[in-house]
């Protein structure tokens, strides 16, 4: 069989179950994936040449070629994006500002410090998402939005307000919605005497941050929970329960659920539809926790596939924003970007190729065994053939060509850094 015949055969296999492959690919095109910039430089940012990561964040490994400035990072991102099919966005942290070599305090950042990013995104025809950066700073050693010192809290509240203004600017410049996410590392190594007061301070800080409304066609906010971190093993004020309650109280704010921010025995996939019953929209950070929130590169594993199944089966693609969030410094960083992003999209494609109505009908008839049999049969369907055609028609290389391109880029560019 040639490629056309192989693709036609694969479409026939799915059609047996009532699946329209062309329609699934069109839907896949309509779901932008927000790709995190921090994989390219190990979360260093551009504030200073040598940044010490704090807030429980670690990027392990020392593979050569880390991006050191805006030019290198955007070059690497552009190269990676050329190998990731479909609509994509790039997700930034506030620490990736263009400060011109000057010290710019985080409570003084402005849209002008991100104009170069906006110019680059407009040239690429992509959107930008944003994140406030509360970690890796001398004013965040003992917390940020929950800090007992009002002056410290004020600093971080102002930082977050300015991040929202930058997010709005990105929406205006790119013509695409910007989602600005807010995650704080605040927490305690031991069980605190008072777990209530920090949460009340966090709520008051958030209320002040979100005081001014922003056009939701340009910008939306999200808040991200975490179970624990390095140095905050016992207590985190910004827990899942806290933020779930907060967004139900303030429905214009999205809940961000990160695949690595829960107990190792919990799965985000099991929470998605429960939360969607009560909130308007969700932001998902797709990652791969290995025993803890270790931010491994996303694989086409059972949990990633189940995350996408839950979103698609709930008919919630228009209510869920999907981002990647991991950082691996032990392998070629562009390979990490491409593998994780492509695997995220493959998992979504697999979910879109599921005969959801057929499975629902079998389940409604009380035939649990039939659901199991068909679900398992679907795992060996020719997903790879459909994915290869998708990449080909979107001008993106297959695995062999992509591997060769990455190796050449490492030799020609990354090895010289």
Of 407, 306, 329, whose CA–CA distance to 83 is shortest? Answer: 407
Question: Is 20 an annotated catalytic residue?
Answer: no
Q: Which of 41, 310, 325, 410 is catalytic?
A: 325
Question: Is 76 an annotated catalytic residue?
Answer: no
Question: Is 252 an annotated catalytic residue?
Answer: no
Q: How many CA atoms lie within 13 A of 373 on its CB side?
A: 7
Q: Which of 137, 168, 182, 226 is catalytic?
A: 226
Q: Which of 93, 168, 182, 261 is catalytic?
A: 261
Q: Which of 258, 310, 328, 354 is catalytic?
A: 258
Q: Which of 47, 224, 310, 328 is catalytic?
A: 224
Question: Is 258 an annotated catalytic residue?
Answer: yes
CA 16 to chain CA mean position, Å: 34
Q: Which of 113, 285, 296, 346 is catalytic?
A: 285
Question: Is 261 an annotated catalytic residue?
Answer: yes
Cα separation, 2 vs 201, whole angstroms:
64
Contacts of 83 by beta carbon, 8 Å cutoff, 6+ apart: 338, 342, 396, 397, 402, 405, 406
Q: Which of 129, 221, 281, 293 is catalytic?
A: 293
Around Cβ 23, how many Cβ atoms within 10 Å?
11
Question: Is 226 an annotated catalytic residue?
Answer: yes
Question: Is 337 an annotated catalytic residue?
Answer: no
Cα separation, 157 vs 211, whole angstroms:
11
* Largest Cα span, the chain: 70
Q: Which of 186, 281, 295, 303 is catalytic?
A: 295
Question: Is 185 an annotated catalytic residue?
Answer: no
Question: Is 158 an annotated catalytic residue?
Answer: no
Catalytic residues: 183, 224, 226, 258, 261, 285, 293, 295, 325
């Amino acid at each position: 069989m040639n490629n056309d015949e192989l693709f036609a055969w694969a479409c026939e296999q799915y059609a047996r179950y009532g699946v329209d492959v062309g329609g699934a690919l069109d839907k896949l095109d309509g779901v932008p994936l927000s790709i995190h910039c921090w994989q390219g430089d190990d979360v260093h940012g551009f504030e200073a040449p040598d940044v010490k990561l704090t807030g429980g964040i670690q990027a392990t490994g020392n593979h050569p070629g880390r991006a050191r400035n805006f030019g290198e990072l955007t070059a690497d991102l552009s190269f990676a994006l050329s190998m990731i099919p479909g609509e994509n966005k790039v997700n930034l942290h506030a620490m990736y500002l263009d400060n011109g070599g000057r010290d710019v305090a985080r409570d003084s950042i402005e849209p002008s410090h991100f104009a170069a990013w906006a110019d680059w995104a407009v040239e690429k025809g992509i959107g930008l998402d944003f994140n406030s950066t509360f970690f890796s700073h001398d004013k965040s050693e003992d917390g940020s939005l929950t800090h007992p010192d009002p002056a410290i809290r004020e600093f971080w509240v102002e930082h977050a307000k300015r991040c929202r203004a930058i997010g709005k600017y990105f929406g205006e410049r790119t013509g695409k919605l910007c989602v600005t996410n807010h995650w704080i590392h605040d927490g305690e190594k031991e069980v605190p005497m008072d777990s209530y007061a920090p949460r009340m301070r966090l709520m008051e800080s958030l209320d002040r941050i979100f005081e001014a409304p922003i056009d939701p066609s340009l910008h939306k906010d999200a808040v991200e929970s975490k179970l624990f971190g390095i140095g905050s093993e016992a207590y985190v004020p910004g827990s899942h329960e806290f933020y779930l309650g907060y967004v139900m109280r303030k429905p214009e704010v999205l809940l961000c659920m990160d695949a690595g921010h829960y107990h190792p025995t919990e799965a985000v996939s099991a929470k998605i539809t429960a939360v969607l019953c009560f909130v308007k929209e969700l932001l998902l950070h797709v990652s791969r926790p290995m025993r803890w929130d270790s931010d491994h590169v996303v694989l086409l594993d059972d949990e990633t596939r189940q995350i996408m199944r839950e979103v698609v089966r709930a008919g919630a693609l228009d209510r869920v924003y999907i981002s990647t969030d991991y950082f691996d410094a032990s392998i070629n960083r562009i390979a990490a970007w491409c593998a994780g992003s492509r695997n995220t999209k493959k998992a979504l494609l697999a979910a879109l190729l599921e005969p959801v109505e057929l499975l629902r009908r079998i389940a409604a008839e009380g035939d649990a065994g039939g659901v199991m049999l068909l679900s398992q049969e679907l795992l060996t369907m020719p997903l790879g053939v459909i994915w290869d055609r998708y990449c080909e028609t979107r001008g993106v290389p297959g695995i062999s060509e992509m591997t060769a391109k990455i190796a050449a880029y490492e030799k020609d560019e990354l090895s010289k850094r």
